[in-house]
Chain A
Amino acid sequence: MMDELRELYQEVILDHGKNPRNFRHPPDANHEARGENPMCGDKFTVYVKLNDQHVIEDVAFEGRGCAISTASASMMTEVVRGKTEQEAKILFETFHDLCTKDEDEQCDHGPVDEEAMEKLMVLSGVRQFPVRVKCATLAWHAMNAAIEGEEKASSE
């Protein structure tokens, strides 16, 4: 029992959950979107600064959420910074599969940053807790919406 909990709440997650990185509102962000999970009331705003070459120069977030959603948002800001829009999207889709599908069902969404995926592996424990998948993907949906110019995303 506790093994599965430890698998879900690995030290890295507890750390990012308590001390989220890039928890701020960058004044020069030119894209932003809100992510809301109506079931639990978690709300994040993800801010993205995209340059003319479609590269994410800065990404940060604010809001409130559980340990899983906060850690996932925090780790996301670390791994997508410096990526192109396209690379970030591939990362999002690959990460989404990681959280929702068994290994043999995960798809190839394009060339992905393997090092980033390795870091994100700690979040794969949510697969055993289906109701928590939305927590892990909330900020990612918001980041995706921000890039696509939408105001709001839901991980519903």
Chain B
Amino acid sequence: MSDIAHTLAHTLERPAAPFDVERLRADFPILARTVHDRKGKPGKPLVYLDSGASAQKPRQVIETMTQFLEEDYSNIHRGVHFLSQRATDRFEAARGKVAAFLNAPSPDNIVFTRSATEAINLVAASYARTFLEPGDEIIVSVMEHHANIVPWQLAQMAKGLVLKVVPMDDDGVLDLDAYAKLIGPRTRLVAITHCSNVLGTLNPAKEIVRIAHERGVPVLLDGSQAVVHSPVDVRDIGADFYVFTGHKLYGPTGIGVLYAKMDLLKKMPPYQGGGDMIQSVSFAGTTFKEPPMRFEAGTPPIAEAIGLGAAIDYVESIGREAIAAHEHDLLTYATRRLSDIEGLRIIGNAPGKAAIISFTVDGVHPHDLGTVVDQYGVAVRVGQHCAEPLMDRMGVGSTARASFALYNTRAEADALVDAVQAVKEFFGA
């Protein structure tokens, strides 16, 4: 059982905390809208099951960002004036919130990036390309998002590295024995997702790290999906690098996070050059700031970082265990109802998985399914989900994916089931 699954199971043993989903839904203005309105006639209520691609934003995030822009906005780390100090304080407070959210030792372990993708690219450029030699190996898994494949391939091309791939079984469970065997004398880095964006599999992060550390190999975990669905403690997991993005965590786009251990950050050279990351610049030679500033060249997404801080406050105010338990209920319910549909196949059945359901329906292409359920107001993602190797592994060209968030309800799972039934009738499948 993965460590998160363990936490979840533990959580479920306790009496369920009151989780008032209707009250929480009222925090998300967009959930009140209808879609496909025609000639003044209201269309269908929005059933948003695409939070795995990007989550909707609560009023608390929207208002915090608006208030910051209206009252405290300025550039940071530069001016001596009143607003610059205010903005800097709020930006750095957001860094502190992220550190606490991950249980990082210090805010200095947190580098703000524009996205999880940029965070991985940062490690690929600054760590892998600097410290790895031709013939050195990086291990990824078959269930990675393209963002945790392509940056390593670019490093591979630049440095003559070798990329090895951890397989999984048909349920979407990572093959840990194969993983352990893949680690060899030339392995220099492991980069694996904490939670698959397609399968929902929560990988046993702590075990993955333990196996790698036994051989002295550092580990990067892509937490973009995991942080949304469960508590994450980077110190307990032992990850050397941990990345996630703000917009899937009910925060704004344009803000991502790289957590890294300080000894690694200290030895890594800058990723990009520019303002705010230097100690002193001269044409004889430039010196750089200490981490994390060394990795934050240029004016960062200030309002977005503060918005992410507000999103974390929001999630923490509800409680990550409570959210996980609610989502687990939705997952169980939706899985059962979808499984009753003839010809529907769920892709990814790992025990303890997160509330992400990828599926195919016999005789209906996912793209056609997506178009038709959308007419019923149901928003799902269809396609390859930026995970083409995984699609190939599962023997499908593409899937439909329903991903559940804290604001979803059983009634919305029912709406999905009804819409899929309508699809089957429509296509005579």
Contact = CB atoms under 8 A, between A and B. Distances in A.
B383 A41 contact: yes
Interface in A62-94: 64-70
B368 A66 contact: yes
B235 interface: no
A5 B419 CA distance: 13
Given A41-B388, A66-B367, A132-B371, A9 B426 contact: yes
A18 to B, nearest CB: 8
Nearest to B384: A41
B365 interface: yes
| B interface secondary structure, majority | mixed
Contacts of B397: 40-43, 64
A67 B398 contact: no
Contacts of A68: 367-368
Contacts of A2: 375
Given A39-B383, A41-B388, A5 B366 contact: no
Contacts of B38: 1
A146 B106 CA distance: 58
Interface string A1-18: 110110011000010001
B131 interface: no
Given A42-B397, A66-B367, A14 B388 contact: no
Interface string B35-56: 0101000011000000000000
B391 interface: yes
A42 B43 CA distance: 30
Contact of A4 (B365, B375, B391, B427): B375
Interface in B380-399: 382-384, 388, 391, 397-398
A56 interface: no
A14 B367 contact: no
Interface residues of A, number: 24
Contacts of A9: 368, 426-427
Given A14-B427, A64-B397, A67-B427, A40 B371 contact: no
B182 interface: no
B372 interface: yes
Contacts of B428: 14
A43 B375 CA distance: 26
Interface in A16-34: 18
Interface residues of B, number: 22
A40 B368 contact: no
Interface string A47-72: 00000000000000000111111100
A5 B375 contact: yes
A128 to B, nearest CB: 10
Interface in B147-165: none
A65 B368 CA distance: 10
A31 B397 CA distance: 25
A8 B371 CA distance: 10
Contacts of B371: 5, 8, 129, 132
Residue of B36, B365, B384, B391 with highest tally of chain A CB at under 10 A: B365
A142 B368 CA distance: 21
B367 A40 contact: yes
A4 B375 CA distance: 9
B398 A1 contact: no
B367 A135 contact: yes
Contacts of B388: 41
Interface string B221-263: 0000000000000000000000000000000000000000000
A135 B371 CA distance: 12
Interface string B306-319: 00000000000000
A67 B427 CA distance: 9
A69 B366 CA distance: 12
A41 B375 contact: no
Given A66-B367, A67-B368, A40 B36 contact: no
Interface in B352-406: 363, 365-368, 371-372, 375, 382-384, 388, 391, 397-398
B40 to A, nearest CB: 15
Contacts of B368: 9, 66-68
A132 B366 CA distance: 12
B366 A40 contact: yes
A123 to B, nearest CB: 14
5 contacts: A8-B371, A9-B427, A14-B428, A40-B367, A41-B398
Given A5-B426, A38-B384, A66-B366, 12 more contacts: A1-B43, A8-B371, A9-B368, A14-B428, A39-B384, A40-B382, A41-B384, A41-B391, A42-B398, A64-B397, A65-B365, A68-B367
- State the 10 A-B residue pairs at the shortest beta-carbon distance, nearest first: A66-B365, A66-B367, A41-B398, A41-B384, A41-B397, A40-B383, A67-B368, A40-B367, A66-B368, A64-B397
